[in-house]
Structure 1
Amino acid sequence: MKITRELKTGIFAVVVIGLFIWGYNFLKGLNMFDGPLKTYKTEYANVQGLNTASVVTINGVEVGKVVNIEFDKAPERRGHLIVEFSVENDFEFSKKSIAKIYSASLMGGKSLAIVPSYEGEMAEPGDYLSGEIESDIFSSVTEKLNPLQAKVENVIVSADSLMVGLNDIIDAKSRKSIKESIAQLNSVVSNFKQVSQSVNTLVKNNEEKLGKTLNNAEVMTKNLAKLSDTLSNANIGSMVKNLETTVTSINAILTNVEQGKGSLGKLMKDDGMYTNLTNASKELEELLNEMKLHPKRFVHFSLFGKKDKGYKPEVEKKQ
């Protein structure tokens, strides 16, 4: 049987079309030779760069691919994306499992991982799974740097405002005053340095004397410590108590004297006694004077037993 050119052309065209359809579906993640696929769906507000033919994994094992991504047509879910993915083996998981988008590499490629759960009713093809997005290292760094960036911007704005304010406040005269103050401060620092050097020289020259002084101070401290121990061992309490008793007695005596009690008190308070004592003292003084002037009036004695003639007052001779 002879095959005509038209038949060959037709067969070739069919094969090319079939290969094109297979290739197109293969690029979309569908393998037409695997038979009917089990597909599931999930929904995201942002797919983070996930596309068709992205790998689907379970526990790190590739089990399928992303089949289709389309916008949700429901008015209340406008803008959300429905992701349909396939699972090419008989692995079972429940409807509580999670479909999580994650970064497969540092280059930014995204993949879909099913975090399986085995509680509750098992998922059937066409069921929706809960969708989550795992933050990659760049997203985490960006999330942490955004607040820091805002704070840095605020600091820069505040610093700029401060510099503008300083420029407005510090005019030429103020800047000159600041320069003069800095020059004076440098002079003070220089003087302090000279004083410090002088003190160092003084200490170095009198190092031996300072050492002796410190030794003497140490000896004095030890002596004071010994004296303190001696005073501590002494019966200070008894001495203080005796001193208090003595002071109390003296106060009592002074009180009696002040009130005119006793001989000393009467002497100090009784004017008559004072007058009598004064008169007696005066008479005694006159008597002593008389004895000095006329001793014969008071003393009479004879070595030979001569009879005492008695005292006869002398008559003063008239001139």
Structure 2
Amino acid sequence: MKLSKEFKIGIITILTLVGFFILFNFLKGQNIFSSGRLFTVKYENVNGLAPSKPVSVNGLRVGQVKEIKIIDTAKPIYFEVVISVEKDIEFSKKTVAEIYEPGIMSGPEIRLVLDYSTDIAKSGDYLTGRIAGGLFDGITKQLSPTQAKLDSVLLSVNQTLGGVNNILDPSTQRDIKLMLRNLNHTIDSFDKTAQSLTATSNSANRLIASNEKTLTSTLNNANATLASTKTTIDKFGKTADKINELQLDQIVKNFENSSKNLNTLLEDINNGKGSLGKLAKDEGIANELEATIKNMNALVEDLKKNPSRYVNISVFGKKQPVQQ
């Protein structure tokens, strides 16, 4: 049978549309040849989730988001998300369908946090939904302590600057200016003193340079005098050593003889020998000596009281009779 040209064109057009439809759904991530098991998940916020987004288990894609329906008859409203699971994976009704963001550039997706209890989930069942913290939420949580510390540091800096502003009031500023002015005067005084010391040092250097020969000669003479003095002292020391060596024994011997003679004299006096011994031992001589001393004392007293008895006094060349 011969096909007409129009029929061929229609067949080609239908095949093209079917191919385009299959390609379009394939690019959207939908598999029109396998519907898989369908599950419904309730969310209060889909967080930007869109149909055809992947559904994964432990990082492996096992299905996709089929439909998102808004339930606006309830207060508050919520969303019902229909997902398909194409892989033959068994899990319980307690499995959680979690919306998360796998990366910065990709949008929100759904991952199944599987539960393996006995109540196996079947197509058409409801699963529990939740929203995981996004990538930026984790970064924000990590940066929160740092931000708190930074806020504390900034607060301390503000307080410090406030304290500095309070310290630098007009009166304090005047005092600081006065102190700086006095410091400048002090520095000028130090500068003048340094200049004076420099001039004095220059004068001393010129004086030393002009009298260098005299100072050199004086130092040479002093060195010669010290050398001569040292020689004299050395000679005197040697002479003293010789005198000590020669005369020390003789001095010791003389001291021993004198000590012996003194001991002999003391023994003679103690034994009543000689004049001193008799005087010390003879009580009569001692008594007579004591009486003589007493008479001499009486005579001296009488001489003091009556000097005219013993001395003639001449007045104008005449002698006065001595009173008896």
TM-score w.r.t. the length of structure 1 is 0.47
TM-score w.r.t. the length of structure 2 is 0.46
